[in-house]
Structure 1
Amino acid sequence: MTAPPTPVVFIHGLWLHATSWTPWTELFTAAGYAPVAPGWPGDGETVEISRKDPGPIAGHGIDDVVAHYTRIIGAMDVKPLLIGHSFGGMIAQRLLGLDLAAAAIAIDAAQIKGVLPLPLSALRSTLPVFRNPANRRRAVSLTFDQFTYAFGNAIPAREAAELYERWTIPAPGKPLFEAAAANFSPRSPAKVDTGNDARGPLLLIAGGMDHTVPVAVTKATLKQYRHSTAITELQVFPGRGHSLTVDHGWREVADACLTWLARNGL
């Protein structure tokens, strides 16, 4: 009897809709996996719905998102593989640390508790949220200029404009405030069990020109796992920005993920 295909859960980050994973889910389906790309709690089914009615998006924090994906995973027959981008990468790490996944790939993942570097470009990228404390309870949209700096700095302006129009949605401000306070809060929702020896393999991916999650942040994240004997690896894509999962070079990153999964028997 042929074994059922391995499930893969794709987890988006702030400001991108879940349908931005469509090229990835099609590729992974062709490769023999069973991928799904659920949105965050409150997301509309489409980009247009999410933009038109951002109210349900507002107010959800990291724990809410983790609980949401925990329920999705709980309905599966086996532990899935997780692939997350940006804050989705942080969520993937938390779920992996809780032994809810067979393995995880965190792409340009938001910083977890314990990570200290805070480059100026990362501060500028998140300024649209932090400039107003009330944004903690709101859903915040990026202007095109803000998106270009945070996501599209390493691609042509025309492509950045196309991605902005096609995939961007408002995002809850709460996760950013929680991550910013993580190193001052013993019970921070950004805390990951980085010492878990029994968890599945983890691959951290960084874009060499990422403004939102610079390479220094990802390398510091890797160091947080130094006390675990479980597989933890880092791969850097020079010249790539935060848009690396949705821009013209997405396939290079996706193929690297497939190669890594195969190498680890996944």
Structure 2
Amino acid sequence: MNPIRFDDWTAPVPAVRREVLSVLPEEETDRPPVLFVPGLGHGAWAFAEHWLAHAAERGYPAHSVSPRDRGDLRAQVHDVVQVAVSLPRQVVLVGHGAGARVVARVLARYPARAAVLAAPLLDGRAALGAALRANPAGTLPALVGGRLRVNRRQLFGPGMPAERADAYLGRLVHPGARMQRQLAGRDASPAPVGDPPVLVVGSPDDRVVPRASLDRAAVRHGGAPLLFPGMGHDLMLDTGWTEPLDAILDWLDKELGG
């Protein structure tokens, strides 16, 4: 399928140098590559901390891409499509948070082998309500174009050491007011091409994505969310990160016959 669309020709996305981090299995494998897409404020590093190496140990070539600085949704979709088509095999897409919204749009133009929406930020209004309840001081500035500031209670479960949580928070970058505005409403992505299997995972204790949003996202793809109680929004960085990743890889093994 041609990933180029009419608006890409008439108003092309500016070229950038994309950061892609990769960890490959020690032995050659027939499993498809997995491309991880980070969420708001995060970069490829968020998956390089734990998930890339663990996925490679399970036999999956693992890659993560950083969203471009100040890029909007269209630019980030473009970047993910370009990275996906550059890999030697049809990829599995795993998007986290706002990265799951990017993946949902990529699925409408790239025939992925499968996809995982992890703590997907698909309903911006519900997420905004949750953020105002959990962290009003950090959320209110975003309503007038300022920077959204999340705290450790929003991203991590109670078992995360404060020093480690603060170190991760210090690595977050401001995505820009335009991206924040684009995420404010509900996602209206077209249906995926090729009908790939799609798994929704998250935590009922997530203070960014409410449980009802997880349920709606899963129903849209014909299933129920796979839940990990006690974890925060950042499933890939929180303590207990192996549990959701192993569940994702077990699901891929089953769906793809691994």
TM value normalised by structure 1 = 0.74
8 Å contact kept, 1:141–1:169: no
Whether 1:32 aligns to 2:59 is yes
Whether 1:175 aligns to 2:146 is no
In the other structure, the counterpart of 1:164 is 169
8 Å contact kept, 2:160–2:238: no
Residue 180 of structure 2 aligns with an amino acid whose one-letter code is L
2:210 to 191, 207, 214: 214
Structure 1 residues 178 and 236: alpha-carbon distance in aligned structure 2, compared to 1, 3 A threshold: same
TM-superposed CA distance for 1:152, in Å, is 2.8
Once residues 147 and 27 of structure 1 are traced to their aligned partners in structure 2, the CA distance between those partners, rounded to angstroms, is 27
User: Any unmatched runs of 5+ in structure 1?
Assistant: 42-56, 183-189, 227-231
In the other structure, the counterpart of 2:142 is 130
In the other structure, the counterpart of 2:252 is 261
Once residues 208 and 177 of structure 1 are traced to their aligned partners in structure 2, the CA distance between those partners, rounded to angstroms, is 25
Whether 1:237 aligns to 2:228 is yes
Identity of aligned residues (%): 20
Structure 1 residues 116 and 105: alpha-carbon distance in aligned structure 2, compared to 1, 3 A threshold: same
Residue 82 of structure 1 aligns with an amino acid whose one-letter code is L
In the other structure, the counterpart of 2:241 is 250
8 Å contact kept, 1:7–1:81: yes
Once residues 140 and 30 of structure 2 are traced to their aligned partners in structure 1, the CA distance between those partners, rounded to angstroms, is 44
Whether 1:225 aligns to 2:230 is no
Structure 1 residues 197 and 20: alpha-carbon distance in aligned structure 2, compared to 1, 3 A threshold: closer
Where does 1:1-266 land on structure 2 (aligned, <5 Å)? 4-22=30-48, 23-41=50-68, 57-58=69-70, 60-111=71-122, 117=126, 120-124=129-133, 127=139, 130-133=142-145, 135=146, 140=147, 142=149, 146-152=150-156, 154-156=158-160, 158=162, 159-165=164-170, 167-182=171-186, 190-194=187-191, 196=192, 198-226=194-222, 232-265=223-256
* Count of aligned positions: 225
Is the partner of 1:83 in helix, strand or coil? strand
Is the partner of 1:216 in helix, strand or coil? helix
Residue 121 of structure 1 aligns with an amino acid whose one-letter code is A
Structure 1 residues 119 and 219: alpha-carbon distance in aligned structure 2, compared to 1, 3 A threshold: farther
Is the partner of 1:110 in helix, strand or coil? coil
TM-superposed CA distance for 1:78, in Å, is 2.4
Once residues 161 and 140 of structure 2 are traced to their aligned partners in structure 1, the CA distance between those partners, rounded to angstroms, is 20
RMSD of aligned C-alpha atoms? 2.6
Is the partner of 2:151 in helix, strand or coil? helix
TM-superposed CA distance for 1:108, in Å, is 0.4
Structure 1 residues 141 and 180: alpha-carbon distance in aligned structure 2, compared to 1, 3 A threshold: closer
Structure 1 residues 118 and 252: alpha-carbon distance in aligned structure 2, compared to 1, 3 A threshold: closer
TM-superposed CA distance for 1:92, in Å, is 1.6
Cα offsets for 1:171-208 (capped at 9, x unmatched): 233233113244xxxxxxx32224x5832110001111
TM-superposed CA distance for 1:258, in Å, is 0.8
Is the partner of 1:82 in helix, strand or coil? strand
8 Å contact kept, 2:36–2:95: yes
User: Any unmatched runs of 5+ in structure 2?
Assistant: 1-27
TM value normalised by structure 2 = 0.76
Cα offsets for 1:220-241 (capped at 9, x unmatched): 2223335xxxxx4520111211
TM-superposed CA distance for 1:17, in Å, is 2.3
